């Protein structure tokens, strides 16, 4: 698939802040376009509360926590519906506590409409997919029906281009969140979203076999384990000009850190050091509305929002690291990132993004 520059990022991704009321409420997005989300990631900012992930493929009441290994739970009092421009909340005190502050990161797939994908069926499984090819995002669900033992299995992703970033979780049982990034340095290497650990090639329940990746399938390699009749959920991405980028940079250890070109003004950035123990740092343009950006949450922990450790500027065409914190700028170390746009650098209508 040939991807083109997205003029309005808010049609496919938005960050929304809200304050809990301890009862029920509807959260309405404020972007240029209405966004009915298919994947919502919520984190309380002022207290140590787990990250909450819900999507329209598994169903609105099905919950997972990014910083935990728990299997899927059914809770009817967190997100109660995905709306035409936001979502509705129940009275759960952890994600709608009275006067508590929250951030919700939201991605659009295909409005909850899924299809059966058979692209990997000759050496793998059918998958249930809802894909937004315009924005390079798909939600993939599949069931592993028997003891895989040692083997590689193809899985259709629906992106129309080779995936560059994948987050996957066995939703039916306790297990880590495994992460693939195109710049991890080879095949059968993995990171875990719920942990601070560096990349590894050993001890995994499952890893990703990069040489088999294509515009139709990705490949997971099981390592002599039994995961009978378990459901898996995968969030798959490929970079789209002006909207998203998945890349890496090398730190210089200086207060004036490296510049990372994205081709757009960032609205959301998550960074993980590749080969050392560090958190998964999340920053966005809504919690910091001007530079320097330093309000940080951690996908790998339930911690309240921190400030003063990470410093970076969100520029019209990328990210400038502004300190030498080990989590984002150790000299010679490699950092992986995923970034989504607030605005493209130059949209198809010829309007350039401006600095903050």
Q: What are phi and psi of 270, to 5 degrees?
A: -125, 130
Question: CA–CA separation, 253 vs 250, rounded Å?
Answer: 9
Q: Note the pLDDT of residue 221.
A: 81
Say if 18 falls within a structural domain. yes
Q: What is the pLDDT of residues 291-327, one digit of tens each?
A: 999 999 999 999 999 998 899 999 999 999 999 999 9
Tell me, yes or no, whether 254 and 206 share the same domain.
no
Tell me, yes or no, whether 225 and 121 share the same domain.
yes
Q: What is the pLDDT of residues 64-88, one digit of tens each?
A: 999 999 999 999 999 999 999 999 9
Q: What is the pLDDT of residues 111-165, one digit of tens each?
A: 999 999 999 988 888 999 999 999 999 999 998 765 555 678 899 999 999 999 9
Say if 356 falls within a structural domain. no
Note whether 54 and 29 are within 8 A (CB).
no
Tell me, yes or no, whether 13 and 50 share the same domain.
yes
Tell me, yes or no, whether 100 and 164 share the same domain.
no
Say if 176 falls within a structural domain. yes
Does the pLDDT at position 185 exceed 90? no
Tell me, yes or no, whether 231 and 253 share the same domain.
no
pLDDT interval class at 348 (50, 70, 90): very low
Say if 200 falls within a structural domain. yes
SS3 label, residue 285: coil
B/e letters for 54-74, b = 16+ CB within 10 Å, e = fewer, are bbbbbebbbbbbbbebbebee
Q: What is the pLDDT of residues 266-283, one digit of tens each?
A: 999 999 999 999 999 999
Say if 1 falls within a structural domain. no
- How distant, in Å, are the alpha carbons of 49, 197, 240, 269 from that of 304? 7, 20, 31, 18
Does the pLDDT at position 16 exceed 90? yes
Question: CA–CA separation, 233 vs 318, rounded Å?
Answer: 30
Tell me, yes or no, whether 134 and 213 share the same domain.
yes
Note whether 248 and 172 are within 8 A (CB).
no
Q: 278, exposed or middle or buried, with CB in 10 Å at 0-12, 13-18, 19+?
A: buried
- Report the candidate in 86, 76, 81 with the shortest Cα–Cα distance to residue 108: 86
Last residue of one domain, picked from the residues 44, 77, 107: 107
- Report the candidate in 69, 31, 72, 70 with the shortest Cα–Cα distance to residue 54: 72
Tell me, yes or no, whether 265 and 223 share the same domain.
no
**Average pLDDT over every residue of 181-195:** 92
Tell me, yes or no, whether 95 and 119 share the same domain.
no
Tell me, yes or no, whether 123 and 200 share the same domain.
yes
Question: CA–CA separation, 208 vs 189, rounded Å?
Answer: 7
Last residue of one domain, picked from the residues 89, 107, 125: 107
Note whether 130 and 112 are within 8 A (CB).
yes
pTM of the predicted model as reported, rounded to 2 decimal places: 0.94
Instruction: Work out how many domains the chain is built from and give that number.
Output: 3
Say if 289 falls within a structural domain. yes
Tell me, yes or no, whether 207 and 253 share the same domain.
no
Say if 352 falls within a structural domain. no
Question: CA–CA separation, 69 vs 66, rounded Å?
Answer: 8
Q: Note the pLDDT of residue 298.
A: 98
Tell me, yes or no, whether 68 and 136 share the same domain.
no
Say if 349 falls within a structural domain. no
Q: Look up the domain containing 282 and give its range.
A: 244-344
Last residue of one domain, picked from the residues 72, 107, 142: 107
User: Going by DSSP bridges, is the β-strand pair 79-83/101-107 parallel, antiparallel, or unpaired?
Assistant: unpaired
Tell me, yes or no, whether 52 and 129 share the same domain.
no
Question: CA–CA separation, 196 vs 277, rounded Å?
Answer: 5
């Amino acid at each position: 698939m040939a991807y083109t520059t997205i003029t309005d990022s808010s049609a496919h991704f938005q960050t929304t802040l809200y304050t809990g009321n301890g009862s029920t409420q509807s959260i309405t997005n404020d972007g240029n376009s209405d966004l009915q989300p298919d994947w919502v990631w919520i984190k309380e900012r002022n207290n140590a509360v787990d990250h909450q992930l819900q999507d329209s493929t598994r169903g609105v009441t099905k919950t997972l926590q990014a910083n935990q290994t728990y299997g899927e739970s059914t809770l009817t009092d967190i997100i109660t519906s995905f709306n035409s421009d936001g979502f509705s909340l129940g009275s759960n005190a952890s994600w709608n506590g009275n006067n508590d502050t929250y951030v919700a990161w939201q991605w659009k797939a295909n409005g909850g409409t899924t299809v059966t994908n058979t692209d990997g069926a000759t050496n793998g499984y059918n998958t249930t997919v809802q894909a937004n090819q315009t924005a390079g995002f798909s939600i993939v669900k599949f069931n592993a029906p028997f003891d895989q033992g040692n083997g590689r299995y193809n899985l259709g992703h629906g992106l129309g281009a080779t995936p560059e970033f994948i987050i996957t979780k066995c939703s039916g049982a306790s297990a880590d969140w495994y992460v693939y990034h195109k710049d991890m340095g080879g095949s059968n290497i993995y990171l875990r979203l719920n942990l601070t650990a560096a990349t590894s090639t050993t001890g995994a329940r499952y890893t990703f076999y990069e040489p088999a990746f294509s515009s139709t399938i990705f490949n997971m390699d099981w390592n002599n384990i039994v995961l009978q009749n378990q459901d898996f959920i995968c969030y798959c991405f490929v970079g789209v000009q002006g909207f998203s980028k998945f890349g890496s940079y090398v730190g210089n250890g200086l207060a004036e850190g490296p510049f990372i070109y994205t081709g757009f003004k960032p609205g959301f950035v998550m960074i993980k050091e590749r080969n050392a123990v560090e958190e998964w740092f999340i920053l966005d343009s809504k919690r910091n509305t001007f530079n320097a950006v330093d309000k940080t949450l951690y996908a790998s922990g339930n911690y309240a929002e921190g400030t003063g450790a990470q410093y970076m500027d969100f520029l019209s065409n990328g990210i400038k690291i502004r300190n030498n914190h080990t989590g984002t700028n150790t000299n010679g170390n490699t950092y992986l990132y995923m970034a989504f746009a607030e605005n493209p650098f130059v949209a198809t209508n010829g309007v350039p993004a401006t600095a903050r």
